[in-house]
Amino acid sequence: MTQQPFSDLIKQQLGDSCGRLSLWLTDSSVESDSKVEIENLIANENFAELRDRFWRELEFGTGGLRGVVGAGSNRMNGPIIRKATQGFANYILKQGTKALQRGVVIAYDSRLSSRFFAEQAAGVLAGNNIQVYLFDTIQTTPCLSYAVRYLGCIGGLCITASHNPPQYNGYKVYWEDGAQITPPHDKSILAEVFAVTRYSQAQFLTYEEARQKGLIKSVPNKTIDAYFAQVKALQLEPSQQKDVSIVYTPLHGTGAQPTRRALAEWGYSKLHIVAEQEAPDGRFPTVKKPNPEEPSALQLAIAQASQLKADIVLATDPDSDRLALVIRDPQAAQGAFKHQAFGDYVFLNGNQTGALLINYILSTRKRLGSLKPEHKIIKTIVTSDLHSRICAHFGVEIFDTLTGFKWIAGVVNEWERQGLSDRKYLFGTEESFGFMPGDYVRDKDGIGALCQAVEMSASFKNNGKTHCDELLDLFANYGAWQEDLITVDLEGEEGALRIGRLMQAMRNQPTLEFARTPVQALVDYQLQNKRVRKNNGFAEPIPFADLPKSDVLQLELADGSKISMRPSGTEPKIKFYISVCTPVSKSLNAAHAYSQSVERVSLFRRAVNDFVASIQ
């Protein structure tokens, strides 16, 4: 391969990035328009942009790719997709002829480049003689997870950047169990991806060629029908009155049609979809970013609900794996939950929705006689311990996993592999608005969880209670919990280095006090040890190996509160998870205890911000 000659100025400005830049400009498989885009940056001496585009190759993490769409090695584009897919294909080829025949199913969401990226990935798999099943139109992530197992595929790909801003796209890899890749497959696939050093190494057939050869087929409609049958089977109270009015927004994503179908099959008809956000549109023109975790994304939905006096507002992200729940409760909105209020509506956080769903599912099953000793629930280590206390009340075992539904699904898959008849998965959740409502999928399912949330809301209404009433009842029994999430965006090469410095600073010299509360222990999931407070320091580490290694630190405080910190696995940011509990007593009722927890969270937020500012 001919080396691209660069001026001394370019070499000085870009340093090690010149090798990746040269590869981009000289590789024959890189499209000409992508080369022109970079050549224009060179001609304009836009070195800052060139450094950002070439300081690394877009990292293929343990779940896949995610990045800004554009030309360059640190961007989402055709060459990067093809190169990564060739690595995935090489791993499949090593599994034998049957693996090729079983094939890979590919889904994509509404983002502007998603169909193109799906066809690029399909073309590489077909070029390696691997059967491909491609959805004809946009499809949800949970349906993709279901399709992998239903079709008996060796793996799956989903082209989505979930809730990221419109300039992003991504590429999630699934294995035959329907979950995103976990050990040992993740590291082995990573090794194969890294072994592909040139974009031109990707074997490729055009979409038309692969169709003619029968190597790309459409996903059969019966697959989608079977998925909805599984969603319908979640229903616990089909005969209850269904007088609950719903405003729903898919945030320009995949969710409108699946939500209509699922709720109709459950018998709920009072559905109003936000017209301005109903049509799939990868520009996401009405929101800054299509993230249902952020109340700003639900402004239009809440405004419409206010006009209609709708009971609940629901939202899913573009690939329909996350769910937000907002409820109408004028009294609570002016009282204990006013910090989460928007007019008469209260925006529930992911922990609150998860706690309500768990309590509803367990209490309803107990009342109906369908709660079994083998039923189990799973949550992540950064999710509220309120969930654990609810499960303990019902005598249901709850398991903790690392952050991410691939780990929740991994536990379920392991139970199946071991044939453990005394463990039947019932529900899983994490704080970031993710819920896995059944074992028919092995990832978050915003559509199935949405139906459960509607049924739960109808039950509350039929019994004359609100969601906030139910939460206060839970607080009275299990303590008043409030959680919060702080995300610090640190983009680019320097941002990545600073994230590392923040983690290392806490790991090397853990703080003895956080928000004027003594730290009792530091749990390090990367080093797999726990350091307990001893006088003005910490005792020798106590090793543990309950979970796989992960770059997560968790401070356990004297009052039972927790602070967790970890780099995001998919975005250039570091996350801090705050969890505070105030006990309820005769002198402190649930509402007042909850208010104290909310105030204490503000203190913890300031302490987190001070820590971040102290490490440059």
Active site residues: 162
With CA atoms as reference, report the closest residue to 161 among 440, 572, 566: 572
Q: What angle do helix axes 78-93 and 114-127 make, rounded to 10 degrees?
A: 40
Q: Give CA–CA dist 75/20, Å, rounded.
A: 12
- 320 close to 443: Cβ distance less than 8 angstroms: no
For 492, counting Cβ atoms within 10 Å of its Cβ (0-12 exposed, 13-18 middle, 19+ buried), the class is middle
Q: Give CA–CA dist 342/314, Å, rounded.
A: 14
Cα 549 vs. chain centroid, distance in angstroms? 19
- Ranges assigned E (strand) in 423-572: 424-430, 434-436, 480-489, 513-514, 517-524, 529-534, 537-538, 542-543, 553-557, 562-567
The token pair at 584 is: 């309820």
The H or E element containing residue 116 is helix 114-127
- 164 close to 68: Cβ distance less than 8 angstroms: no
Instruction: Report the alpha-carbon angle 517-520-526, nearest 5.
Output: 115
Cα Rg for the chain, rounded, in angstroms? 25
Pseudo-torsion of CA 494, 496, 500, 503, nearest 10°? Answer: 120
Q: Give CA–CA dist 135/141, Å, rounded.
A: 12
- 29 close to 82: Cβ distance less than 8 angstroms: yes
The token pair at 488 is: 């610090």
Alpha carbon distances (Å) from 203 to 250, 459, 570: 36, 55, 27
- 428 close to 145: Cβ distance less than 8 angstroms: no
Q: Give CA–CA dist 438/443, Å, rounded.
A: 10
- 423 close to 415: Cβ distance less than 8 angstroms: yes
Q: Is the peptide bond before 184 cis (omega within 30 degrees of 0)?
A: yes
Continuous H helices in 203-248: 207-212, 221-232
Q: 292-323 burial, b if ≥16 CB within 10 A, otherwise e?
A: bbebebbebbbbbbbeeebbbbbbbbbbbbbb
The H or E element containing residue 65 is strand 64-68
Helix (H, G, I), strand (E, B) or coil at 212: helix
